[in-house]
Structure 1
Amino acid sequence: MNTRIPAAPSTAQSIWLVAEREIGSRLRSKAFVISTVILFVVALGAVVWGGFAAGTSNDLKIAVTSDTSSVVQDVDGLAVTDAASASAAIDLVENGDVEAALIPTSEVPDATAPASAPFDYTIVANDSAPSGLVSMLSESPAVHLLDPSSTDFLLRYFVALGFGIVFLMAASTFGGTIAQSVVEEKQTRVVELLISAIPVRALLAGKVIGNTVLAMAQILVLAAIAIVGLSVTGQDLVLTGLGGPLVWFAVFFLFGFILLASLFAAAGAMVSRQEDIGSTTAPLTILVMLPYFLVIFFNDNSLVLTIMSYVPFSAPVAMPLRLYLGEVLWWEPLLSLVVLIATCAAAIWVGSRIYSGSLLRMGARVKLSEALSRA
């Protein structure tokens, strides 16, 4: 009786089996599911709160009469209420409906304006004049900006913060998970069974692809949350400006994450204990954190952002931000993406050599030169 031996899976099948295993193990983890749900809820709350806060007027509330309305006609930052008379304007101040009133000086109760008074109106307030009102009403020379900023500074900061923190959290979380998974398989000797059935590089590719699928799914959900939140809060202008940059961010994140995931897997293969992971992943963690801090502190520095947009580890954050700010030429994102893809390919090649040369080494930490030479 002939016994048919099952054929070994192809490389593509092996990669997909490992990817399925990575995705399934993560989705069965309560910690992962709960943390992901919390991330989505916090992101939705932040977008909605930010949208409503941006839509809430912070203008100074004042009351004017027909005699003083022309004074504030071209003044920004004021919410003006028209009162029928000076006494009605004063009543609005006393009732707390407005913070101050502008009335003719001649109609100020219990006051007599000097004959040489420079203004024919007076600010009336309860206990003190609102901060900044006097300077708003003061005459100043016209200002002409040669290179005006196209975006609000606060909005610019929050967009930079959003891109930076999403990339930081996703890359560091999933990167650390990949490294821990590799070390766990080495400790339990599961890796010996795995590589007896599938090639080592297929094992690495499956891990990278599986975690990339999960990370990209999170990015797409976060993008959808941003779109829904901005739509609900009526921030159509912000949403219109963010549409293209969000798409580019997803593309740059995809290749940036693959680059980092390959290196995190290689870093995990170089040690045999969970306690030693930090020694090999520390440089990668720094590379993940640097773009976050740089884009926060230098989001208004065009030179720094331009340099960052061509550095592979920071391009996923800097280039989408520059696209949002409208500071790039049409070819710059394409050139930056080519540089990132080329670096990604190099990182995959180096990472696979380190992974192959370290995976079966137990005991002390494997030196980088030894891992590369044994591949």
Structure 2
Amino acid sequence: MNTTTAPWLIVALREVETKLRDKAFIISTIVTLLFIIGSVAVTGFLANRTSNFAVAATDDASFRVLEQVIQDRPEDVELSISRLAPEQAEQQLSAERLNATLSGSADAQEFTLTGFNAVDQELSSLVREAMKTVKTDQLLAEAGLESASLPDNEDLILDQLHGDSERAAMASAMALVFSFLFYMATFLFGMPIANSVIEEKQNRVVEILASTIRLRQLLAGKIIGNVVLAMIQLLAFLSIGLLAAYISPIQIPFLGVVTQVAGWFVVFFFGGFLLLAGIWAALGSLATRTEDLQQSSGPVVGLLMAVLFIGLYAKGSFLVVASYIPIVSSAAMPSRLLSGEVAFWEPILSLAILLAACWLVLLFAEKIYGRAVMHTGGALTLRKALKLEV
């Protein structure tokens, strides 16, 4: 061992090197990055795609319906219409020169939209709405009324006393993203810390290592190595996602706000993951088999699920309280920051509480690890581990 290199750094580098050689880790990271890029690309493509339809009417009533479709169609729909005899329309449809034909009954009360293999759902929806409009106008004309006198959907104006609905929708979506990233990382990098500790106990490797370096250095190296890996992966996911969003052809609202809050999320993620890394290491030292870990990790898994569900459902005062609870605050405070209704001192206070809790948990984890990691006589409880001599 090189005496000029700190023992904890050697352990940390070993953890990083081992993970970077893991094909499953590399493949999952690449797949996730591709999924992020693909999601933004598909969203941009769908948002800018223009639908083109060619439809022929076989009678005057059907032609009026198609004219109404042209008036009501959204900007991303192009429609070309024509008036053809039934036989001609069928021939062009069979030759696939038309997307559909529209025919009305003798009393113009029913219409049939015919496609070659199938009728496009978007086209059928547009024709259905236009048909209702035309028939309604006809009935009103017969009664001596005009459609302009009827109530309209636009007569209802949506407003709210507090906040911005569009920003609230963005905050809800990004809160889910932040919560999921935290949840995924803590399993991808947290659980292996515990499994590594168990493996070293089973193979008696920890006894050899303990004769060379202090257990505190060994624990620090394991935690730091996995924290570095988790932070690198998180930064890669966020950077690629934000870059794809910025170069996307569609205008994503509040993208600047998301970028700023992403920085806060990285800081809160660091504190929350560091705290959990200490917990996973302690749990690994208490166990002697993987099965023991599965039984003792229930509360941690439940806490992680709580973080994920808070990202999904937490609102109002519950979210405010959650933003000051360590670990949960890693997702809750960034979620609040997205809304823009947080005082400048609140994230600082929340982060201070998180880091203080992190420090206490790491000290406790070191105490448990130092007593339990050399024990091979079966799984331990916290009470039993604290009674063991160092």
Pairwise same-fold verdict (TM > 0.5)? yes
Counterparts of 1:131-210 in structure 2, within 5 Å, are 137-138=152-153, 140=155, 142-151=157-166, 154-210=169-225
Distance 2:298 2:76 in 1: 57
Contact 1:159 1:321 in 2 (8 A): yes
Contact 1:183 1:269 in 2 (8 A): yes
Counterparts of 1:271-282 in structure 2, within 5 Å, are 271-282=287-298
How many residues were matched structurally?
A: 339
Q: Deviations over 1:289-325 (max 9, x none)?
A: 2110122122xx1212111110111111111111111
Q: Does 1:328 align with 2:342?
A: yes
Q: Match for residue 303 of structure 1? A: 317
The CA deviation at 1:359 is 0.6
Q: State the AA in 1 paired with 2:25.
A: F
Q: Deviations over 1:249-271 (max 9, x none)?
A: 00010111110001100100011
Q: Deviations over 1:165-196 (max 9, x none)?
A: 10000012211100000000111111111111
Contact 2:48 2:76 in 1 (8 A): no
Q: Does 1:362 align with 2:376?
A: yes
Distance 1:238 1:176 in 2: 35
Q: State which drifts further: 276-285 or 351-360.
A: 276-285
Q: Match for residue 17 of structure 1? A: 10
Distance 1:214 1:195 in 2: 24
Which TM-score applies when normalising by structure 1?
A: 0.78
Q: Deviations over 1:316-375 (max 9, x none)?
A: 111111111112111110000000000000010000000001010002111202222334
Q: Match for residue 130 of structure 1? A: none
CA gap 1:335/1:93 in 2 versus in 1, 3 angstroms: farther
Distance 1:52 1:187 in 2: 53
The CA deviation at 1:45 is 2.3
Structure 2 alignment gaps of length 5 or more: 52-65, 84-99, 103-112, 114-122
Q: Does 1:338 align with 2:352?
A: yes
Contact 1:51 1:230 in 2 (8 A): no
Q: State the AA in 1 paired with 2:273.
A: F
Distance 1:153 1:55 in 2: 24
The CA deviation at 1:139 is 6.4
Contact 2:172 2:335 in 1 (8 A): no
The CA deviation at 1:30 is 1.5
Q: Match for residue 3 of structure 1? A: none
**Secondary structure at 1:221 match in 2:** helix
Q: Does 1:28 align with 2:44?
A: no
Contact 1:204 1:265 in 2 (8 A): yes
Q: Match for residue 258 of structure 1? A: 274
Q: Deviations over 1:97-129 (max 9, x none)?
A: 964559x98xx89x89235314369xxxxxxxx
Distance 1:327 1:52 in 2: 33
**Secondary structure at 1:295 match in 2:** helix
Q: Deviations over 1:196-248 (max 9, x none)?
A: 11111110000000000000000000011111221232344342121111000
CA gap 1:259/1:82 in 2 versus in 1, 3 angstroms: closer
Q: Deviations over 1:263-287 (max 9, x none)?
A: 1001000111122111222211211
Q: Please tell me the root mean square deviation across aligned C-alpha atoms, in Å.
A: 3.9
Distance 1:112 1:290 in 2: 56
Distance 1:31 1:53 in 2: 32
CA gap 1:117/1:32 in 2 versus in 1, 3 angstroms: same
CA gap 1:55/1:276 in 2 versus in 1, 3 angstroms: farther
| Identical aligned residues as a percent | 34
Q: State the AA in 2 paired with 1:239.
A: L
**Secondary structure at 2:301 match in 1:** helix
Distance 2:272 2:298 in 1: 18
The one of 298, 305, 308 equivalent to 1:289 is 305
Q: Match for residue 116 of structure 1? A: 144
Which TM-score applies when normalising by structure 2?
A: 0.75
Contact 2:167 2:339 in 1 (8 A): no
Q: Does 1:228 align with 2:228?
A: no
Distance 1:139 1:27 in 2: 57
Distance 1:199 1:221 in 2: 33
Structure 1 alignment gaps of length 5 or more: 1-5, 122-133
Distance 1:230 1:80 in 2: 21
